[in-house]
Every structure is written in structure tokens, then in C-alpha cells.
Amino acid sequence: MKKYIVYIMVLVFTASLASCEDWFDVQPKTQVKTDVLFDTEGGFMRALIGIYTQMADNSAYGAEGTLAFMEVLGGSYTSVTVNNHNYHKAWLYDYEHSGNEARINNLWSVNYSSIANINNLLEHIDDKQAIFSDGIYEIIKGETLALRAYIHFDLLRNFAPAPIKGLETPAIPYVNAVTTVPFPQLSVGEVLQRVIDDLLEAESYLKDYDPIGPAFETYEENILGSTSIDEQISESSFLLYRKERLNYYAVLGTLARVHLYRGGEEDKTEAYKYANDVINCQRFALNDSQTIGEQSTSFFAMNYMAQEYLFSLYKRDILESVNERYYKISQNESSKNILELNEAKRNQIYETDKYGGVADVRLNKLFALNQDGINYYLAKYDYSPNNNVNRIPLLKIAEMYLIIAECADSWEHLKTLRRMRGLKAMAPGNTLQQEIEAEYLKELVGEGQLFYYYKRLNQLVNGNMTDDGKFVLPIPDAEKERGLIN
């Protein structure tokens, strides 16, 4: 068994490579630059990190695809009920409104742009195997394949009906090559199978080489400290920050999520298997309620959340572009953007009428009173400037417990998660699925996943969602005009 321990002092690697976006352009006019980029191992590293940087843009996973637009559609925020709020029309599921149309079109175009960059990297990497140090080719190819699957899966969850409506329903194109020939629209089932195929191939590449994976005896991230990482890309620095990347166990976690979404009986067996492998790997253990309760507010995001992330995106300017733009009322930002929860909504999510406001540590640790002294904002993104974590969660260990609870009808996995958050008793009379839903709300609030939970079960989010057609975002008209999209 190999042994590989990685100590992380500050999560700044992605930020140091932000300039690679200028390099990574697949348009013909910059073909010479692309060729130069892919002449060296460091060039492939820069290209991969550039994809992560693009994904972290506010129009994609950096805000709209997670904590902002998608979370509004999931029904979490109460400030959006005001008529002049910038997300009011999203709260009403009015997808024809100009603001929502722009958000939706960006989710489509930016994500497919990331996929184009992914395919450009994959088109070059096999012919350049000789330039890579041991294991780097496998890690880069595995991560890139996994990213292609991950992004396509979310495009599917946004722009196509859920599998519960039929696997033969027309969905989206699965773009897996660099070409000027348009890709055909596939069915929901065909897209899901291609997602799974890419993830399985990614798993095979990462299994023996990912430092956080099963081929290595231990893996450790120490995120405290102030040592900076040199901008020079090297093999040693590239292998850091595995929880910030689509690593081996994040691939397994994504497979669990995808199989659960597809929803067949065999899928539930597969989802259970992958989720169980992630839990048993002991790389992403849940923090217990006592540990969480002892953390100060400034270290909360690191010690409670970041250590439980299977996959997250580094976002250098998260304080300005997320926390101050969407959450904390300030003189620099219009209140029309502020996403808050009133006390009644917070109490509803955490079921204070059943369990009180003391036991569940998330009730207080996840929220902070805004400057108005009335409403609460999510503290998930309220990172201290000295912490240097700055991460958008995309997949967490808690979700693996919820997947197993659902796939195996396991009260024990649900109780384990609840116990680690300070809850021991169960409200009488609730079904297992009702309790699972309650935990999805508590654990994943502010992450953009609630909309997909309701969609998977074809369960309307709230009274504003008048029909299940609102679960499908409209594909941009420009794509339909090309004649390949229904």
C-alpha cells in the first residue's frame, strides 16, 4: 500500500492560475497558442485548472448554478418574495422574464463552453503521453473525463425532464469531441448512460494514481496557516488540493448521485454501492456536533463544511462576488440582490416546533443575522479573509448518507447523520422519505441541490410552481433555431 500525505497550508493554487483563461481558447484564431499550451506537462495542468476557474464564474457554478438562481428555484429564500427583488420572477418560475432568460442562457452557454475546453484538452492528451511524469497523465485525463460527465449531468438536470417522466424523452446533446458538426439531441436515458460511461472511465484512470484514492494509505489536508504556493506549476503542487478537485472519491460520489437520479432498482443498488465506498474510505468523515458547536464563527466554514466536501470549487473573490453580493447587506450592494431567510423559514427548515432550537447545531452555525437585525443570511460563504478556504461546495459526504438511507431504506444512516448534527430523537409518525427530505433541506440549503431533489421525485417545490413543466428550463432559442433541438 502506498503512502501519500499532502499538507495544504492555503488554498490559493487555483487563484494563482487564473491567468490561464487567456491561454485556453479553442477558437481557430488562437490555435497556435493552444498548440504551445499542450507542448508541456505544465501546459496541460494550466488548461485543467483553467476549466475549474471557468466553472467558478458567477454565471455558472460560482453563483447562479448553485447558491443563487438554482437555490431560488429550490424555494429556500424569503427575501425574493418582494416584487422589486431581482430574483422575484425566478421565485415565480417566470422563465420568460429577461433576467431569468439571461441567467438560463448563460447556464447553457458557459457550461458548454467549459465542455468545449474539456474536449480540446482530451483531444491532445493521448498523443502527448510521453511528456508526463508518472501518474500525471492519468490524473489529468481522469479528472477531465469526470468534469465532462459532471457538467453534462447538471445540464441534463436543468434542461430536460427527470427520468421519472421517461428515459426516452428528448434531452440535450452530449458533446464529446471538438468539431464544427452540431451534436444531435439525445434522450434522457442516452445522456445518463454517457455520463456514467465517462465517470467509469475516469474512475479507472484515477484509481491507482490519485493521492486521495485507494492506492494510497493516507491523505491529509491541513488548511490552517499562511504559507503561499508559488505560481510555478510543478508536479508536487499539482497534486495538492484534491478535495477541491473532481478526485477519485468525488467520481464515486457523482456516480451515486447519477444512479439515484436515474432511479431504477438496479440504479439504487449501484448508488448504494458507490455511496458506501465513499463513506468507508474514511477521507471525508462527518464532523460531530460537539466539534461543530465548539467552533467560532470565523472558523466554522473550514472545520464544519470544507472538510466534508467531496468536491468543491475554489473561488478567489468569494467574499466580494458571493458573500457581499448576495448575502450581507452593505452600502455597496443593492438589497434587490440580497438572498435571506426570515426566522419563520429558518425555523421551518430546522423543524424547531418538533426539535427545538438547541440540539441541531446547524440552526445557529449555518446562519447569521443580517444588518437589518431581522432576517438571516447563510454563513456558508462568510469566509474570514484569513482562512483562505473560499470554496463553493458541489458534493458532500452528508449526501452519501442520504443516498444510502433512501436506496437501502436505512434509518440507521439517517440517524447517524442526524446524531452528528446533534439530533437524536425522531418526530413520531414521519416516514423515512419525509425525514430524508427534511435532512436534504437542512444539509444542502444554499447549494442549489434542492431543486433537483424535488425534480427527481416529481414533487412540486411550492405553490408558485403550478406544474411540473417548471422543472425544465427552456433551451435557448438560438439552439432551437439550428434545428437539432426540440
The predicted-structure confidence for 58-86, as pLDDT tens digits, reads as follows 999 999 999 999 999 999 999 999 999 99
Predicted pLDDT of residue 233? 53
- Res. 240: pLDDT tops 50: yes
With a cut of 80, say whether residue 237 has pLDDT above it: no
Bigger pLDDT: 147 vs 389: 147
Are the C-beta atoms of 188 and 156 separated by less than 8 Å?
Answer: yes
208 alpha-carbon distance from chain centroid:
24
Q: Does the pLDDT value for residue 387 go beyond 70? A: no
**pLDDT above 80: residue 154:** yes
User: Hey, what's the cell of 486?
Assistant: 426540440
Residue 288 — pLDDT band, cuts 50, 70, 90? confident
Give all domains of the chain, ordered by start, each with its CATH number.
13-481 (1.25.40.390)
Q: What is the pLDDT of residue 2?
A: 41
Q: What is the pLDDT of residue 33?
A: 65
pLDDT at 454: 98
Is the predicted pLDDT of residue 122 greater than 90, yes or no? Answer: yes
Q: Is the pLDDT of residue 25 over 80?
A: no
pLDDT of residue 164 exceeding 90: yes
Residue 7 above 70 pLDDT?
Answer: no
CA–CA distances in Å: residue 190 to residues 172, 241, 392, 427 = 10, 33, 29, 41
Q: Which of 4-8, 332-336, 343-347 has the highest average model confidence (pLDDT)? A: 343-347
Rounded mean pLDDT of the chain?
86
Most confident listed range (176-185, 230-239, 263-272) = 263-272
Which of 110-119, 325-334, 375-384, 464-473 has the lowest average pLDDT? 325-334
The pLDDT of residue 425 is above 50: yes
DSSP letter assigned to residue 301: I
Distance CA 424, CA 157 (A): 34
d(CA 380, CA 415): 23
The answer to whether 438 touches 351, Cβ cutoff 8 Å, is yes
Residue 228: is its pLDDT beyond 70?
no
Find, among 74, 51, 52, 55, the residue nearest to 63 by Cα.
55
- For the record, the C-alpha cell of 379 comes out as 454563513
Rounded CA-CA distance 311/129 in Å is 26
Q: Directed axis angle between helix 188-206 and helix 136-159, to 10°?
A: 160
Are residues 97 and 108 in contact, defined by beta-carbon separation less than 8 angstroms?
Answer: no
Burial class (CB in 10 A: 0-12, 13-18, 19+), 272: buried
378, 465, 466: which is closest to 74 by C-alpha? Answer: 465
Between the alpha carbon of residue 195 and those of residues 68, 180, 417, the distances in Å are 25, 22, 29
What is the value of pTM for the model shown? 0.91
More confident site: 174 or 15: 174
Q: Pick the most confident of 206-210, 379-383, 385-389.
A: 206-210
User: Are the C-beta atoms of residues 236 and 165 closer than 8 Å to each other?
Assistant: no
Alpha-carbon gap, residue 302 to 57, rounded angstroms: 22
Provide mean pLDDT across the span 392-396. Answer: 96
DSSP 79-111: GGGSTTSTTHHHHTT-TTSHHHHHHHHHHHHHH
User: Model confidence at 124, in pLDDT bands (50, 70, 90)?
Assistant: very high
Query: What is the SS3 assignment for 216?
Result: strand
- Top mean-pLDDT range of 221-225, 330-334, 409-413: 409-413
Band (29; pLDDT cuts 50, 70, 90):
very low
Q: What is the pLDDT of residue 138?
A: 98
How much is the average pLDDT of 225-246? 62
pLDDT value of residue 484: 65
Q: pLDDT class for 20, splitting at 50, 70, 90?
A: very low
Give 361 or 120, the one with higher predicted confidence.
120
Residue 253 confidence (pLDDT): 98
Taking the CB of residue 415, how many other CB atoms lie within 10 A of it?
A: 17
Contacts of 476 (CB under 8 A, 6+ apart): 104, 105, 108, 109
* Predicted pLDDT at 300: 63
Percentage of the residues of the chain whose pLDDT score is greater than 70: 85
Q: Tell me the range of 152-166, 321-335, 384-398 where mean pLDDT is highest.
A: 152-166
Mean pLDDT, residues 398-408 taken together: 98
Hey, what's the torsion of the CAs at 145, 146, 149, 155, to 10 degrees? -120
3-class secondary structure, 378: strand
Q: Give the per-residue pLDDT at 386.
A: 59
Residue 330: predicted pLDDT: 74
Contact 284, 278 (CB under 8 A): yes
Q: What confidence category does residue 328 fall into, taking pLDDT thresholds of 50, 70 and 90?
A: confident
> Which grid cell is 5?
500525505
User: CB of 313 within 8 A of CB of 302?
Assistant: no
**Strand extents, DSSP E, 103-176:** none
Q: What is the pLDDT of residues 471-481, one digit of tens each?
A: 999 999 988 77
Query: Helix, strand or coil for residue 33?
Result: helix
DSSP H or E run through 377: strand 376-378
Confirm if 29 and 243 have CB atoms less than 8 A apart. no
- What's residue 414's pLDDT? 96
User: Predicted confidence band at 289 (pLDDT cuts at 50, 70, 90)?
Assistant: confident
Nearest residue to 421 via CA among 302, 316, 304, 246:
304
Better-predicted residue by pLDDT, 478 or 106: 106
pLDDT at 299: 65
